[in-house]
Amino acid sequence: MIRHVNFQMIFLALILLVGSASTALGQKNEQPNVLVIFVDDLGWQDLSEPFYKEKTPLNRRFHTPNLELLAKESVKFTDAYATPVCTPSRVSFLTGMNAARHRVTLWTHPEANNPTDNPDELLDPPAWNINGLSAEEDIPFTYYATPLPEILKNHGYYTIHIGKAHWGAAGTPGASPMNLGFMVNVAGHSAGHPQSYYGEANYGNFPTRATYQAVPDLMEYHGTPTFLTSALTKEAIKALREPLKRKEPFFMHFSNYAVHVPIQADPRFVDKYLADGLDSLEAGYASLVEGYDDSIGELVSFLKQEGVYDNTVIVFVSDNGGLSLAPQRSGESHTQNLPLNVGKGSVYEGGIRVPLLIKKAKGEGRSTIDAPVIMEDLFPTILELTNTPAGQLAQKQVDGKSLLPLLNNKVDESWNNRPLVWHIPNKWILEDGPGINFYSAVRQGDYKLIYDMKGSKVHLYNLKKDIGERYDLAGKENSKTKAMSTLLSKSLKQYQAQMPTYKDSKKLVPYPDELAR
């Protein structure tokens, strides 16, 4: 029997098959979007999602349900680090360089050519890059580099900045995110904190009373009850509509001014914390935390609604450890981040250990990595996740290491063996504190060495056994102390790190391996 073949149906089926294959291929090769959520001054434990082996009392204080949901689809890094203060971390993120090399070692002043060091009776800071980052050459006291958004923009990304920038001083190109590769900028400028979080106060924009900290660009919300965090979230969603309409991949740097001082209560959330028994200052702080978490929920909901969430890399990180200075925080100074020691401004763990989540496009569920990683690693990681070649960079060398192997659960001993370095040859605040003002540090594996330049001494800690850095091993483990001192000195020399000088002799402070034993 001869069967009649319906060639029209076969032809249609072939078209559908080829079309499905093409669509699948297109999805496979499609560049992922990137959303970086960069929180300001958030401590390692200032969220309800634990980054420790167990929930801590601080974790239980906060309510961050949207971050908990994000963590279920992300790789969680428990031993992630930033620098002790904001601008060095932000420059390291955009350049892939360690702060000792790019020499933006302290926060930058809103006005150009103004060092932010406090006076010290013993040491003078070096001539560091007080004007921050620049994508243009020959700008005095800046680090010239090719910023991450510029690279992504040149490879087809629609680049957006929302919120705090603080990469460069006013009067220099780096003050504007538009000069660093961003195609859209909302509220980013040279200042590092808001004059006010309140729309009723115009975010600080009152004639004769506005300072550099008055938040720009949000006139639509002036005189309204719109809290700053909410206004920035609304603007972020508006900005995302354009690349989605164009069907272009986007890179968004969403940097809430929260939770930086001034600690002003977010009225949407503060009452629950007052009811929990927190005083007004700590309740206000907790409300700022929940406010940024609410932003995460709104952004994720929008991405899901638009059908692009599964093709979006999300990075969540803080620029330094939590603030621990009274009276800006309640209680005795340097106790706000326990069991971590000290807080913002310090090279002790409270000042540099930060929460880090990375959700890959088409995330594969939760995993936890305890390998030590650092802020400059995010630069090569994002480039690799987006299949973007770095090309020829103004910075001749990238210090960061791509985290893609860790994201793919390929962890080997090299991650524990590489040294992570911090170097602050500056005086951040007037009163010296533990690990604050003129300190360097190195971590390798479980051990961490801290170099006190003013005191001409080193301290050694085993973080695996002593995360609070309470038990100094420098006088007990002499060989390890010597090896770590040599490692820190070698690393600082490789970075060509600047050292402070003694006021009386004008001599450079010695490297830690040069100290008299």
1 pLDDT higher than 50: no
Residue 125 banded pLDDT, cuts 50, 70, 90: very high
pLDDT value at residue 21: 36
Residues contacting residue 242 through CB under 8 Å, at least 6 positions apart: 158, 184
Give me the helices (H) in 55-188, please. 57-61, 65-71, 86-95, 99-102, 148-154
In the block, which residue shows the tokens 């106060």? 201
CB atoms within 10 A of CB 474: 18
pLDDT number for residue 364 = 75
User: Is the confidence at residue 73, as pLDDT, over 70?
Assistant: yes
Q: For residue 484, what is the enclosing H or E element?
A: helix 478-494
For 187: left if phi > 0, alpha if psi spans -120 to 50, otherwise beta; the answer is: left
Question: What percent of the chain has a predicted confidence (pLDDT) above 70?
Answer: 94
**pLDDT at position 27, please?**
34
User: What average pLDDT does the structure give for the chain?
Assistant: 94
- Tens digits of per-residue pLDDT, 351-381? 999 999 999 998 777 899 999 999 999 999 9
* Amino acid at position 428, single letter: W
CA nearest 344: which of 85, 164, 81? Answer: 85
- Residue 181's pLDDT band, with cuts at 50, 70 and 90, is very high
Distance of CA 226 to the CA centre of its chain: 26
- 226-236 pLDDT, tens digit per residue, is 999 999 999 99
How far apart (Å, rounded) are the C-alpha atoms in residues 194 and 419?
35
Task: Judge whether residue 172 has pLDDT over 70.
Answer: yes
Tally of CB atoms within 10 A around 25? 10
Residue 4 has pLDDT above 90, yes or no: no
pLDDT in tens, 467-500: 999 999 999 999 999 999 999 999 999 999 999 9
pLDDT tens-place string over residues 402-434? 999 999 988 888 999 999 999 999 999 999 999
Q: Which residue has the higher pLDDT, 391 or 18?
A: 391
Q: Are 250 and 157 in contact (CB under 8 A)?
A: yes
Predicted pLDDT of residue 516 = 66
Instruction: With a cut of 80, say whether residue 394 has pLDDT above it.
Output: yes
**Distance, CA of 131 to CA of 143 (rounded, Å):** 8
Is residue 108 over pLDDT 70?
Answer: yes
**Which of 10-19, 44-53, 191-200 comes out lowest in average pLDDT?**
10-19
Quick one: average pLDDT of 172-178?
98
5 burial via Cβ count (<10 Å: 0-12, 13-18, 19+): exposed
pLDDT for residue 517:
57
- Give the range among 12-21, 190-199, 246-255, 452-461 with minimum mean pLDDT: 12-21
**What DSSP element (H or E) covers 357?**
strand 353-359
For residue 32, what is the DSSP state? P
For 291, residues 6+ apart whose C-beta sits below 8 A from its C-beta are: 227, 229, 230, 256, 258, 266, 268, 269
Rounded-to-integer distance, Cα 215 and Cα 489, Å: 41
Closest CA to 298 of 231, 203, 220: 231
